[in-house]
Structure 1
Amino acid sequence: MRAPLALDIDRADGGPLFLAIAEAITRDITRGRLRPGARLPGTRALARELGVHRNTVDAAYQELRMQGWLQAAPARGTFVAEDLPQTMTAPPAAPVLAEPAVRRPALAFSDGAPDPGLVPDKALARAFRRALLSPAFRNGADDGDARGTRALREALADYLASGRGVVADPGRLLIARGSQMALYLAARATLAPGAAVAVEEPGYPLAWAAFRAAGVEPRGVPVDAGGLSVVALEAALDADPRIGAVCVTPHHQYPTTVTMGAARRLQLLDLAQRRGLVVIEDDYDHDYRFEGRPVLPLAVRAPDDLALIYVGSLSKLLSPGIRLGYALAPEPLLSRMAEARAAIDRQGDAPLEAALAEMIRDGDLGRHARKARRIYRARRDLLAGALAERLGERVVFDLPAGGLALWMRSAQGGADLWAMRAGQAGLALLPGARFMLGAPAPQAFRLGYAALDAAQIVRAVEILAQSCPQG
């Protein structure tokens, strides 16, 4: 019998329990308690040890597999990944004195995270100061409102109306600690435990984890060159009557980056209205459109009688460390989301919310977005040029009109082997298998380039070229 896995779970921030479990496991990996190759308890066994639902543990494992901390072996179990970069694991207890104590950090193509070095820290500091000294904040005008501070909801309503054409009543906006919390709350508010939600495949594993934590099972629907297949979605509805919602990323589909066209958007809205589906639109990177006319969200064209929850994030615009997302939803869905949010995080991060309201009103956030778009577009073009030059016909990709990542397909297969070789050479990759629920994995990679500078992009492509299995 396996010994129990005692975890030090920190629930201080009030976030979803599966994230706290995932963080506890990563801490044990980085400090060397869990070594590469170590086998973890099954989800049922660990759930019993922790006194939580099995879906909660499964969601934590799913997230850690997507991030590369864990790997699953069919019929054997879940293990700490063997090929973790050295910077992710603790050094040996008794190092040889002749070895250098400092190791060069590994390069990584992320899932599309922004560059934290571009955070407008001076503007943010000024906004914090103004917010903390404001009479509204000092008088506690927003204390206890689970929807978030009134100031930020009003500023966001103006921001969405001017930049995206979304008419947003501040009373129907809810602020969350990142878009993932907003997705979790949306599932809690719209679907009963045991229900199912249709999701894109390939798609966003952290959204699936949030849905599972809410007791809802994700059901994959294929994605093609036009985004989510509406024909396949209708077939899925016929096959599984438990599906009560669909979650889509129409602006830049995650992970393939394709934009859903106008005709398919109308087909999706029509199907949702006919079949009584709740639509959850995750517009995670709308601010990053480099070329062409802006594509307005589904929320702009949705019929008044359609239940659509519009989810967005300010973390993508600023930094992954600034956890702030939002949701726009009709009543009574928003009220149910606020009730669920109050149970785990009564009023959020009021100082941060007040500061970001100041940045939106003063135009600092808009100026930062314009600067970031110029930098990220240059990095996208550099990556695309380097890939074409060094890998040529061995890879296929479409230059995305926006977003912070590129979907690169291997013309000769072998994505998993390629990822392993690149990892051994110091470059972490996210192969297509990370984004699948169960269908065969595409021979592709999501290359999040935004957090890499020019020299790092060139070096990363060099490692890609050298580690290509058919190279």
Structure 2
Amino acid sequence: MARDPLALDIDRGGGGPLFLAIAAAIVGDITRGRLVPGQRLPGTRALARELGVHRNTVDAAYQELLTQGWLRAQPARGTFVAEDLPQAMVSPPPVPAAPEPEPHSPALAFTDGAPDPRLVPDKALARAFRRALLAPAFRSGSDYGDLRGTPALRRTLAAYLASDRGVVADPARLLIARGSQMALFLAARAVLVPGETIAVEAPGYPLAWEAFRAAGATIRGVPVDAGGLQVEALETALARDPGIRAVYVTPHHQYPTTVTMGAARRLQLLELAQRHRLTLIEDDYDHEYRFEGRPVLPLAARAPADLPLIYIGSLSKLLSPGIRLGYALAPEPVLARMAAARAAIDRQGDTPLEAALAELIRDGDLGRHARKARRIYRARRDLLAEALTRRLGDRVHFDLPAGGLALWLCSRGAPAEPWAERAGRDGLALLPGTRFTLDAPAPQAFRLGYAALEEAQIARAVEILARSWPGGSSKHRDFPS
């Protein structure tokens, strides 16, 4: 069936990220009945051409709506309007959607590293949320809350960061956001003038790039190797482009390759940033998931006091992608600008949810959940590694990551994109290296987020991966696993 173009009425002047404007336009068409349950949407490449935007922008919009439940994805078939939307939210479809044949294989997906929402301590969270809703301060409140977030969560989070990560965090310098994506956008708006450049890891995190572009920044990629961001390459880039004002980095588990930046390179990066008066934006998105070795402290734990550094983390990675809570720790003047930018798009956060999370951290429920989740995810990581070695052997290469919720699998004998297409036809969705590239040639690799898959699903996924190997030879560059 041919996929018709999708004309969307997008509000491009709203001041927020473009991918959110695209998502809002799609939701509007669903609620008006123009897009009906079960209807297939154009592919990201086709819609990006139609709208005149980057493919990653459309992919980010689709991912946002998949998380919210407006859309559903089926490997090898496409992206569809969800069929189980509440009836009150959609108009009756004027024409029934044509039935589509179901795939022969169970739909499986290696995510980008999402946690398993089935592990959420739902009973403890529900009790804490109910208490927050019934609290006198919430029920009698007649004004909006603090733009920086609920004071109770900021205080609790500051104590947690100090004890768990060695980061001295004044609650006044913390901002709670609706996910780390919002925090990244606010950070870019606070430290960059439109047209200025931010250096990013390449390959790297496309949703961060979209947040920076939405803030008016220019993106410049800096290569990554087995030690993370290449600081020497960054210094070369600074010599060529004096317009670079900030650096975005994921040193704990580099996204997407999972490698950890060593102590010597971290000190080298801090020294370079201080010498060139750069702002560092450190995204520590999955710090809780360290399975082996001693904990690696964030850059924020040892940065000089006069170095502008914005430290960003996520509670969504600890719980579920559907629980949108991130945070940023920044110097006071920067945080004030972030709060002012937040006021234009979101007057306050989710006060009851923030209060509930503060209670879970304070009472130890979140810590107990983290310890349980680490045991389960480590077992799943080991099971995946064993299955890949047994079924694929020397056709692939990977280094066992010391932590995180994903594995970087490098192909030794076949290009990644055709391999992903063949696996998709068999019912397995993969994220090949093309998803994480900026300008350089794509690494022939996959990011295998395994945490949301149970043991039987991991075995089935690897079986499909092995069966769909296209074989042959191709020219591809080596890349860190």
Contact residue 68 and residue 84 of structure 1 kept, 8 A: no
1:8 Cα offset (Å): 7.6
* Counterpart Cα distance in 2 of 1:37 and 1:186: 27
* Counterpart Cα distance in 2 of 1:310 and 1:253: 15
1:32 Cα offset (Å): 2.6
- 1:246-278 CA deviation, whole Å, 9 max, x = no partner? 000000000000000000000000000000000
Contact residue 105 and residue 427 of structure 2 kept, 8 A: no
The aligned counterpart of 1:88 is: 79
* Counterpart Cα distance in 1 of 2:409 and 2:64: 18
1:283 Cα offset (Å): 0.2
Amino acid at match of 2:408: W
The aligned counterpart of 2:365 is: 364
Q: How does 1:79-118 map to 2 (within 5 A)?
A: 85-86=76-77, 88-89=79-80, 93=96, 106-118=107-119
Q: Secondary structure at the match of 2:175?
A: strand
Contact residue 249 and residue 283 of structure 1 kept, 8 A: yes
Contact residue 111 and residue 430 of structure 2 kept, 8 A: yes
* Counterpart Cα distance in 2 of 1:10 and 1:115: 34
What RMSD, in angstroms, separates the aligned Cα atoms of the two structures? 3.1
Find the partner of 2:57 among 52, 57, 60.
Answer: 60
Distance 1:439 1:62, change over 3 A: farther
Amino acid at match of 2:199: A
Amino acid at match of 1:88: T
The aligned counterpart of 1:160 is: 161
Contact residue 103 and residue 427 of structure 2 kept, 8 A: no
1:339 Cα offset (Å): 0.3
Q: How does 1:64-463 map to 2 (within 5 A)?
A: 85-86=76-77, 88-89=79-80, 93=96, 106-140=107-141, 143-463=144-464
Contact residue 66 and residue 205 of structure 1 kept, 8 A: no
More divergent stretch after superposition (240-249 vs 262-271): 240-249
Distance 1:264 1:141, change over 3 A: farther
**Is there any run of 5+ residues in structure 2 with no aligned partner, and where?**
67-72, 84-94, 473-481
* Counterpart Cα distance in 2 of 1:224 and 1:128: 43
Q: Secondary structure at the match of 1:316?
A: coil
Q: How does 1:11-30 map to 2 (within 5 A)?
A: 16-22=17-23, 24-25=25-26
* Counterpart Cα distance in 1 of 2:441 and 2:63: 16
TM-score, normalised relative to structure 2: 0.85
1:242 Cα offset (Å): 1.5
Contact residue 29 and residue 89 of structure 1 kept, 8 A: no
More divergent stretch after superposition (131-140 vs 19-28): 19-28
* Counterpart Cα distance in 1 of 2:122 and 2:254: 30
More divergent stretch after superposition (444-453 vs 121-130): 121-130
1:135 Cα offset (Å): 3.5
* Counterpart Cα distance in 2 of 1:464 and 1:11: 43
Determine whether 1:5 maps to 2:7.
Answer: yes
Contact residue 185 and residue 212 of structure 2 kept, 8 A: yes
1:129 Cα offset (Å): 1.8
Q: Secondary structure at the match of 1:40?
A: helix
Distance 1:178 1:4, change over 3 A: closer
* Counterpart Cα distance in 1 of 2:416 and 2:298: 33
Q: Secondary structure at the match of 2:446?
A: strand
Distance 1:146 1:11, change over 3 A: farther
- 1:217-262 CA deviation, whole Å, 9 max, x = no partner? 2110000000000000011111112110000000000000000000
Q: Secondary structure at the match of 1:323?
A: coil
Amino acid at match of 2:77: Q
1:29 Cα offset (Å): 9.5
Contact residue 36 and residue 83 of structure 1 kept, 8 A: no
Distance 1:100 1:280, change over 3 A: closer
* Counterpart Cα distance in 2 of 1:146 and 1:310: 18
Amino acid at match of 2:254: Q
Q: Secondary structure at the match of 1:332?
A: helix
1:348 Cα offset (Å): 1.1
Contact residue 29 and residue 35 of structure 1 kept, 8 A: no
Amino acid at match of 1:123: A
Q: Secondary structure at the match of 1:290?
A: coil
Contact residue 6 and residue 47 of structure 2 kept, 8 A: no
- 1:151-178 CA deviation, whole Å, 9 max, x = no partner? 1100100111111111100000000000
- 1:70-120 CA deviation, whole Å, 9 max, x = no partner? xxxxxxxxxxxx995437336995757xx9789865100000000011111
* Counterpart Cα distance in 1 of 2:261 and 2:36: 40
TM-score, normalised relative to structure 1: 0.87
Q: Secondary structure at the match of 1:369?
A: helix
The percentage of aligned residue pairs carrying the same residue is: 70
Contact residue 384 and residue 459 of structure 2 kept, 8 A: yes
Contact residue 246 and residue 278 of structure 1 kept, 8 A: yes
Determine whether 1:40 maps to 2:47.
Answer: yes
**Is there any run of 5+ residues in structure 1 with no aligned partner, and where?**
48-53, 70-81
* Counterpart Cα distance in 2 of 1:355 and 1:287: 19
- 1:374-428 CA deviation, whole Å, 9 max, x = no partner? 0000000000000000000000000000000000000113111100100011000
Amino acid at match of 1:86: R
Contact residue 17 and residue 215 of structure 2 kept, 8 A: no
Contact residue 87 and residue 105 of structure 1 kept, 8 A: no
* Counterpart Cα distance in 1 of 2:102 and 2:343: 46
Distance 1:259 1:267, change over 3 A: same
Distance 1:264 1:180, change over 3 A: same
Contact residue 36 and residue 84 of structure 1 kept, 8 A: no
1:145 Cα offset (Å): 1.3
* Counterpart Cα distance in 2 of 1:23 and 1:187: 22
